[in-house]
Structure 1
Amino acid sequence: MLKRFLKPMKLPASVDWAVLILRVGVSCMMLTHGYAKLTGFLSGDHSFADPIGIGEEASYVLTIAAEFGCSLLLILGLGSRAALLGLIFTMLVVVFIVHGPDPIDKKEHGLLFLFAYISLLLTGPGRFSVDAKLYR
């Protein structure tokens, strides 16, 4: 079942190109958020919100892992659906917990990432991915 979950679907060529553009584009945008958090953390700033009650440092590390690490994996198309689960969870926390009481304009960026990640989860990484080569 896990192999079936990770295996990319066969898509028309035009859809594969669209998925590649979406996958790399949205990942590069998220990578900027993750890189900023990573450099802050490495410079010794470990203060961060604790929206799900696991501790500031653990929240910070998990957010960096999702925003930076999972974005790198998604750019490569390696373990894409697993990486997307981490990114989707992170965006759900951002939208519904961190910015839960805020107006929609504060949730907009998180929602746009969330919609893109859900779309990629449904389509898979496409033929131009490491996953496609591994599960050929």
Structure 2
Amino acid sequence: MFSFTVSNHIKSFIYPNPWSLSIGLLFVRFNCVLLLNHCLIKIVEYPNYYVKWLSPFSALSFLTCSFTIFTELVCTCFVFIGFLTRLALIPLIILMLITVFTIHDSETIGIRESSILYLLMYFVLIKTGPGLFSIDHLLKKRKKV
């Protein structure tokens, strides 16, 4: 009898039920909202900010700064509420790849750490989807009915 309960616990650890997995994905989505802090700084200081913006495409600093603000604001909000999550993650992943490998490429890992962590969270969400607690799930469930 003891081995039966241990094997059930191991099985539930290896194959979690959908609710516990969705709660974990919900916490990952909530952590993605921390990117809004960086976005709000850029919005408040926008007229002075895009002039000194370090653009990987040299002459297009206005466009890349605008793309960054749009991505950090709109796509992060979509990920947070779970609406078009996988589609919204594509620009966020592109932004973090540019940040890690172009903008902060010569700096230490401590500077790039937050960008790498965001990138890992985005890869987890694009692989698993938003989970049960999302608008995407509600739309999918409504479509089946």
Q: TM > 0.5 between the two?
A: yes
Is the CA contact 1:33–1:68 (under 8 Å) kept in the aligned structure 2?
A: no
Cα distance in 2 between the residues matched to 1:54 and 1:113:
27
Letter in 2 for 1:23: R
Structure 1 gaps of 5+ residues are 1-10
2:116 corresponds to 1:111: yes
1:52 Cα offset (Å): 3.3
1:53 Cα offset (Å): 4.2
- Count of residues in correspondence between the two structures: 123
Cα distance in 2 between the residues matched to 1:54 and 1:69:
25
Question: Which one scores higher on RCO, CA 8 angstroms, separation ≥ 6?
Answer: 1
TM-score with structure 1 setting the length: 0.84
Percent identical across equivalent pairs? Answer: 30
Q: 1:54–1:117: structure 2 CA closer, same or farther, 3 Å change rule?
A: farther
Structure 2 gaps of 5+ residues are 1-16
2:63 corresponds to 1:58: yes
Is the CA contact 1:95–1:107 (under 8 Å) kept in the aligned structure 2?
A: yes
1:50 Cα offset (Å): 1.1
Rg (Cα) greater in structure? 2
Cα distance in 2 between the residues matched to 1:69 and 1:110:
18
Letter in 1 for 2:41: A
Find 1:102's aligned residue among 103, 107, 115.
Answer: 107
1:105 Cα offset (Å): 1.5
